[in-house]
Amino acid sequence: ERVYRMSVSAVGHDTALYLMICKDQSEARRIDRMRADFIANASHEMRTPLASIAGFIETLRGPARDDAKAREQFLQIMQDQTRRMSRLIDDLLSLSRLEMKPHLTFEAQVDIAKIIETVIASLTPQATENGVAIERDFSDGSFELAGNRDELFQVFENLLENACKYGRSGGRVVVSIRRSEGAAEPEIIVTVRDFGPGIAEEHIPRVTERFYRIDAETSHARKGTGLGLAIVKHILTRHEARLSIESELGKGAAFTVHLPVR
């Protein structure tokens, strides 16, 4: 509206209105393009595991028919690919659900520490199996705020899962929670830190983009979809919260969420 008003004084009412309509159209075109790109990417991501499954079915019917060892190995790959597709579909559904419900359902008192405890409990068996210890560094006090419990659960689940997955070589992951009571709006600040390979500076601004994965070859081996952090960012925006990422290559990565307390 500010731009529009400034334009009115500069070029007159009709021209300003015309410019505004043009701007709207180009925004609509940009969104259309983004949607088309998204569908193309999503289809490609689904095609890859399907093509692999189809290939193995052929092989199992033909050359590997009587080779028990190969059969077992191929069935395992097919099972992994099927899981990968299910995860992809779950993530796509999460994103589309978020987009279809532009307004957040707030619950008055969501306890962030409790949510994180539940996430830790659900991830610990897998983490332990992979040699990763999840440590807590919670400061004293209450960590309640108005927000959506399920969505915030998803945020911390994604961040902790990534830390355990990509930071595995570091052997431990530390989750810290504290409150900032600055002069401005109070915040609950959660940091998920790992001590793995970290993220190179040029990738940091891009890791929250849909389907963005660093080093897709090794990442694919780690069974991701490239949608986790896009979902995290989407949910945090709905909570008017902020995500900051810090990393030093070879030393690990820290993902910090600043949640305003309302």
Q: Is 199 in the site for ligand ADP (CB under 6 A)?
A: yes
CA nearest to 213, candidates 122, 91, 56, 125: 91
Q: Is 147 in the site for ligand ADP (CB under 6 A)?
A: no
Q: Is 155 in the site for ligand ADP (CB under 6 A)?
A: no
Q: Of 189, 225, 239, 258, which lies in the binding site for ligand ADP, with binding defined by CB under 6 A?
A: 225
Residue span binding ligand ADP (CB under 6 A) among the ranges 1-9, 38-46, 60-68, 206-214:
206-214
**Helix, strand, coil in percent for the chain, rounding step 5:** 60, 20, 25
Q: Of 84, 168, 172, 213, which lies in the binding site for ligand ADP, with binding defined by CB under 6 A?
A: 213
In this complex, which beta carbon is closest to ligand ADP, that of residue 199 or of residue 257?
Answer: 199
- Per-residue binding string, ligand ADP, 163-192, x by CB under 6 A, is x--xx-------------------------
Q: Is 194 in the site for ligand ADP (CB under 6 A)?
A: yes
Q: Which residue has the tokens 């090794």?
A: 218
In this complex, which beta carbon is closest to ligand ADP, that of residue 138 or of residue 212?
Answer: 212
**How many CA atoms lie within 13 Å of 171's alpha carbon, on the beta-carbon side?**
0
Q: Is 64 in the site for ligand ADP (CB under 6 A)?
A: no
CA distances from 59 to 2, 22, 67 (A): 64, 55, 11
Q: Of 123, 177, 189, 253, which lies in the binding site for ligand ADP, with binding defined by CB under 6 A?
A: 253
Q: Is 257 in the site for ligand ADP (CB under 6 A)?
A: no
In this complex, which beta carbon is closest to ligand ADP, that of residue 92 or of residue 163?
Answer: 163
Q: Is 219 in the site for ligand ADP (CB under 6 A)?
A: yes
Read off φ and ψ for residue 198, nearest 5 degrees.
75, -175
Q: Is 162 in the site for ligand ADP (CB under 6 A)?
A: yes
Alpha carbon distance, N-terminus to C-terminus of the chain = 28
Polymer length in residues for the chain? 262
Closest residue to ligand ADP using C-beta atoms: 224
Dump strand ranges (E) for 107-249. 107-111, 133-138, 144-147, 172-180, 187-194, 242-248
CA distances from 168 to 73, 132, 160, 171, 207 (A): 25, 6, 11, 6, 18
Q: Where does residue 151 rank: exposed (0-12), middle (13-18), buried (19+ CB within 10 A)?
A: buried
Q: How far apart are CA 212 and CA 222, in angstroms?
A: 14
Q: Is 85 in the site for ligand ADP (CB under 6 A)?
A: no
Q: Of 226, 239, 258, 259, which lies in the binding site for ligand ADP, with binding defined by CB under 6 A?
A: 226
Smallest gap from Cβ 142 to ligand ADP, in A, equals 28
Q: Is 7 in the site for ligand ADP (CB under 6 A)?
A: no
Enumerate residues 6+ apart whose C-beta is below 8 A from 13: none
Binding positions for ligand ADP, rule: CB under 6 A: 158, 162-163, 166-167, 194, 196, 199, 207, 212-214, 219, 224-230, 253
